Amino acid sequence: MKFLFVTVFLSVYARSVISLFCYWNTGCPYNYFSSRTPYNAARGDIRDSVIKLTDCEPISIWGLVRHGKRNPGAELALTMKNAIVIREYVVSSYENGNSSLCAQDIENLRELGADYGMFENAYQLSEEGYQEMMDIGKRFKQAFPKLLNKLESQSYTFRPAFGNWMQKSAEGFVNGLANGNLDIEKATTDFDIMDPYTTCGKYQRDVKKNPEIYLESNKYLETTEFLATKDRIQRRLGIDYPLTNENISALYDLCRYTWSSKDKMSPWCALFTTEDLKVLEYAGDLKHYYRNGYGNSINALLGQIPLSDLFKSFQLAKDGKGKKIIAYFTHATMMDMLYTALNLFKDDVELTGALRNPDRKWRTSKLSIFGANMFAVLNRCNRENKTDYNVVFYLNEEPLKPICEQGVCTWEEFENKFKTMNSNTDMCQFKSVPYI
């Protein structure tokens, strides 16, 4: 009798506790969506964080920028489109009293259209993505007014990796920087320093197209942590339709691709609790870690290629023959490889499917976000009639402190770190032909 009372009490209590989580009125919704994190969720602001050193002036800027928010590719778009029907199941389970979602979340979900422009324009830069790029350009201009106010021809280089969304990202950045009228170099389908992996045979064969790189992230999908998450989602939605990993992944994509910095949140995200989102985020971290990061040794070598370009560019600038600004536009893959080449955000213990360390350094939601960027600024300093140089690093508009003291490298430190960076593709062994 007593036992019965306790269980009845507990189940009533548990129901009301569960239904307390509403997404629509969460003051600060979790918006770390691995490589689909909006730039505004994780950026700093170069206007506030620019390091001003007395007796120094910036003379050259070099940067690598990931494209802004873009639409899903065609295959993913189809999977996402198919999953939209799950919304009907959720709404009717709510009406039957079987779902513990909140009334307002259900209403927002019900009112969502099913007609998403992003499905028709695979891989295109979204409006929000263009805006992200333009805003970065604007802020850089404000942070470095003397250097960037007037960009004569020959004083700059802007070049995207191949692809329409890369080109548009470069245009957005340049428009923010200079209201257009600057030339953007043509992308090449051949080897280029901002995406050397696309033509790198060994990388394409042994890493990119090798299913084994997903071993750890697949293992994670079998852990009790992941299975509990899956079960939690299924019970919250209260639907009879048994959700597969693919279904959950498609719903997660609907959440993160429709989440907008402007309107703040997507009703699709109401299907997940913060804990669920953290679990899904880790599955993404594992993929990036093995495909582009510390999980494979070729990644660091590929990441060194643009860094050797940075070194050469600043050497020229130091000799008075450099550019005011160089910026390349590329994929998350390159950003991940860059961090790896610089030995940044490296955990002491390898990331594996067996354990999600909440304090890990490798977090794609901070590192491989839409619009992610790393900039280096070369300063010329005149102290006691002596000219000296230093290099300041910024990641997503904040000083990149782990690289040198407070993010500021003396020229000697810079030279020591960067002069040995690999600039060739010998490790690729053979050339792979992309884009056919």
Ligand X SMILES: *[C@@H]1O[C@H](CO)[C@@H](O)[C@H](O)[C@H]1NC(C)=O
177 binds ligand X (CB under 6 A): no
Q: How far is the CB of 213 from ligand X (least distance, A)?
A: 21
How far is Cα 28 from Cα 41, in angstroms, rounded to an integer? 11
- Comparing CB distances to ligand X, the nearer of 253 and 397 is 253
- Comparing CB distances to ligand X, the nearer of 221 and 404 is 221
Output DSSP code: residue 278: H
- Comparing CB distances to ligand X, the nearer of 98 and 274 is 98
Binding mask 194-233 for ligand X (x = CB under 6 A): ----------------------------------------
Q: How far is the CB of 29 from ligand X (least distance, A)?
A: 24
At residue 23, φ and ψ (nearest 5 deg) are -85, -40
How far is Cα 337 from Cα 303, in angstroms, rounded to an integer? 4
Q: How far is the CB of 252 from ligand X (least distance, A)?
A: 12
Closest CA to 309 of 330, 284, 293, 288: 330
Q: Which of 149, 179, 244, 382 binds ligand X (CB under 6 A)?
A: 244
- Comparing CB distances to ligand X, the nearer of 92 and 188 is 92
Q: Which of 88, 185, 246, 412 binds ligand X (CB under 6 A)?
A: 246
Spatial contact of 391 and 400, defined as CB atoms under 8 Å apart: no
How far is Cα 311 from Cα 418, in angstroms, rounded to an integer? 6
Contacting range for ligand X; rule: CB under 6 A; set: 14-22, 242-250, 279-287, 362-370: 242-250
Residues numbered 72 to 101 that lie near ligand X (CB under 6 A) are 82-83, 85-86, 92-93, 96, 98
Given phi > 0 = left and psi -120 to 50 = alpha, else beta, which region is 99?
beta
Q: How far is the CB of 299 from ligand X (least distance, A)?
A: 30
Closest CA to 361 of 378, 352, 348: 348
Q: Which of 217, 247, 313, 333 binds ligand X (CB under 6 A)?
A: 247
- Comparing CB distances to ligand X, the nearer of 26 and 258 is 258
Spatial contact of 298 and 201, defined as CB atoms under 8 Å apart: no
Q: How far is the CB of 79 from ligand X (least distance, A)?
A: 7
- Comparing CB distances to ligand X, the nearer of 184 and 254 is 254
Residues numbered 98 to 137 that lie near ligand X (CB under 6 A) are 98
Q: How far is the CB of 237 from ligand X (least distance, A)?
A: 10
- Comparing CB distances to ligand X, the nearer of 85 and 316 is 85
Whose structure tokens read 């002036």? 57
How far is Cα 63 from Cα 61, in angstroms, rounded to an integer? 7
- Comparing CB distances to ligand X, the nearer of 92 and 258 is 92
Residue nearest to ligand X (CB): 244
How far is Cα 293 from Cα 184, in angstroms, rounded to an integer? 29
The token pair at 13 is 């209590």
What's the burial of 201, exposed, middle or buried (CB within 10 Å: 0-12/13-18/19+)? middle
Q: How far is the CB of 55 from ligand X (least distance, A)?
A: 12
Residues numbered 342 to 401 that lie near ligand X (CB under 6 A) are 384-385
What crossing angle do the helices spanning 103-111 and 86-95 adopt, rounded to 10°? 140
Q: How far is the CB of 75 from ligand X (least distance, A)?
A: 13
At residue 186, φ and ψ (nearest 5 deg) are -75, 140
240 binds ligand X (CB under 6 A): yes
The token pair at 346 is 């490296």
Number of H helices and E strands in the chain, helices first, is: 18, 7
Q: How far is the CB of 243 from ligand X (least distance, A)?
A: 7
- Comparing CB distances to ligand X, the nearer of 222 and 350 is 222
What crossing angle do the helices spanning 224-237 and 86-95 adopt, rounded to 10°? 60
Q: 176: how many CB neighbours lie within 10 A of its CB?
A: 22
Q: How far is the CB of 276 from ligand X (least distance, A)?
A: 17
Under rule CB under 6 A, how many of the chain's residues touch ligand X? 15
How far is Cα 65 from Cα 136, in angstroms, rounded to an integer? 10
54 binds ligand X (CB under 6 A): no
Spatial contact of 173 and 130, defined as CB atoms under 8 Å apart: no
- Comparing CB distances to ligand X, the nearer of 211 and 358 is 211
Q: How far is the CB of 91 from ligand X (least distance, A)?
A: 11
Whose structure tokens read 């009406």? 95
Q: Is the dihedral of CA 115, 121, 125, 131 positive or negative?
A: negative
- Comparing CB distances to ligand X, the nearer of 98 and 261 is 98
How far is Cα 125 from Cα 74, in angstroms, rounded to an integer? 14
Where do contacts with ligand X occur on this chain (CB under 6 A)?
82-83, 85-86, 92-93, 96, 98, 240, 244, 246-247, 250, 384-385
